[in-house]
């Protein structure tokens, strides 16, 4: 207790003298037990990556040296540029902010806070979709490129980043759940950092990409499931890949093996269309004319990050 008051020293919350419980606005905390007396909201920010998040009675996931809980309902709305959740401002406005530390000319540092312009709920959902699209690896560059590519598409069709990733543009399986503030995994932070960079007005590193593909593009080529070519060979007039970009993409894919199974069928990596000399120019670039009758635009690869290749629409 703080001398001469009813406020506890560590949490600065008022203690009820009759029950010895600390008042946390949303619920009471029993300091003798180290637990809240009632549960937190279920399925609000639980995560499979953090078992402590499933204990709805614990104080700050049993990690009081790092985290605080000013209201009894731990919510997060301030993140650093690396995607790590920092703290809450205890204002229930569903806003989300980025915090960037800058160094002044005199050597001192200060934090620059920026309103990211969307709700915290939307931010967490977008980050979760980016994380799914990036796969299992916590590749910060891959997540950054996916986030910017999604934003490029949103800009091109005059839509919002949230609406684009909620559409068929993204094939993510879960478009409802958000990444919990308690999830401090590398994958979570990489996905959030990519989204923060977009919303904070960061430079687009993708060269204007509006599409991305993973292993299926390299595996299916002109003969995918059902005997049909990969959709991109049917939707665009031409498919162009600079030689160095293709080499990096193929190497990343074949590092895990020279074949992959889709829908019960084994596909070799790469597909025959990519090994046919007729589809390579004298300069060493892949160039394929699809013959798609209804297509009006071509596709050119702008780069590859992680397991993903990115494309500009011409």
- Per the listing, tokens 């993204």 go with 170
- Per the listing, tokens 């790590």 go with 84
Is the CB of residue 177 less than 8 Å from the CB of residue 129?
no
Is the CB of residue 210 less than 8 Å from the CB of residue 203?
no
Which tokens is 266 given?
A: 């084994």
Exposed e or buried b per residue across 255-278, where buried means at least 16 C-beta atoms within 10 angstroms of its C-beta: eeeeebeeeeeebebbbebbeeee
DSSP helix/strand/coil, 189: helix
Rounded-to-integer distance, Cα 60 and Cα 30, Å: 14
Residue 239 backbone dihedrals phi, psi, to 5 degrees: -130, 115
Rounded-to-integer distance, Cα 146 and Cα 60, Å: 32
Crossing angle of the two packed helices 120-134 and 186-199, in degrees rounded to 10? 120
Cα angle 112, 114, 118 (rounded to 5 degrees) comes to 165
Rounded-to-integer distance, Cα 95 and Cα 89, Å: 10
The C-alpha R_g of the chain, in whole angstroms, comes to 25
Among residues 125, 71, 123, which one has the least CA distance to residue 97?
123
In this structure, the number of other CB atoms found within 10 A of the CB of residue 175 comes to 16
Q: What is the enclosing helix (H) or strand (E) of 253?
A: helix 243-254
Which tokens is 159 given?
A: 């839509």
User: pLDDT 10s digit of each residue in the chain, 314 long?
Assistant: 444 445 554 555 778 878 888 877 668 888 788 788 888 766 555 555 567 767 777 776 676 654 556 555 545 589 999 999 998 877 778 999 999 888 888 888 888 889 999 999 999 999 999 999 998 888 999 999 999 999 999 999 999 999 999 999 999 999 999 999 999 999 999 999 999 999 999 999 999 999 999 999 999 999 999 999 999 999 999 999 999 999 999 999 999 899 999 999 999 999 999 999 999 999 999 999 999 999 999 999 999 999 999 999 99
Longest dimension (CA), the chain: 86
């Amino acid at each position: 207790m703080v001398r001469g008051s009813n406020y506890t020293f560590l949490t600065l919350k008022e203690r009820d003298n009759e029950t010895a419980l600390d008042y946390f606005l949303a619920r009471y905390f029993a300091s003798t037990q180290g637990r809240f007396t009632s549960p937190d909201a279920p399925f609000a920010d639980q995560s499979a990556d953090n078992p402590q998040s499933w204990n709805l009675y614990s104080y700050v996931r049993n990690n009081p040296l790092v985290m605080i809980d000013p209201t009894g309902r731990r919510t997060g709305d301030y993140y650093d540029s690396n995607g790590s959740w920092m703290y809450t401002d205890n204002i229930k406005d569903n806003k989300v902010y980025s915090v960037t530390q800058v160094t002044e000319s005199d050597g001192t540092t200060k934090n620059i806070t920026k309103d990211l312009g969307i709700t915290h709920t939307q931010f967490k959902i977008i980050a979760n979709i980016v994380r799914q699209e990036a796969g299992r690896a916590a590749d910060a560059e891959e997540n950054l490129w996916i986030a910017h590519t999604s934003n490029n598409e949103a800009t091109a069709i005059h839509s919002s980043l949230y609406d684009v990733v909620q559409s068929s543009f993204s094939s993510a399986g879960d478009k409802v759940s958000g990444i919990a503030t308690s999830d401090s995994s590398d994958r979570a932070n990489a996905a959030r950092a990519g989204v923060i960079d977009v919303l904070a007005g960061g430079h687009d590193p993708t060269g204007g990409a509006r599409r991305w593909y993973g292993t299926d593009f390299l595996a299916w080529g002109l003969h995918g499931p059902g005997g049909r070519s990969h959709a991109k060979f049917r939707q665009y007039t031409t498919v162009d890949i600079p030689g160095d970009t293709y080499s990096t993409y193929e190497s990343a894919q074949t590092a895990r093996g020279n074949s992959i199974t889709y829908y019960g069928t084994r596909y070799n990596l790469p597909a025959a269309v990519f090994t046919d000399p007729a589809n390579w120019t004298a300069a060493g670039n892949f160039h394929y004319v699809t013959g798609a009758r209804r297509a009006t635009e071509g596709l050119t690869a702008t780069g590859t990050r992680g397991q993903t290749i990115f494309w500009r629409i011409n």
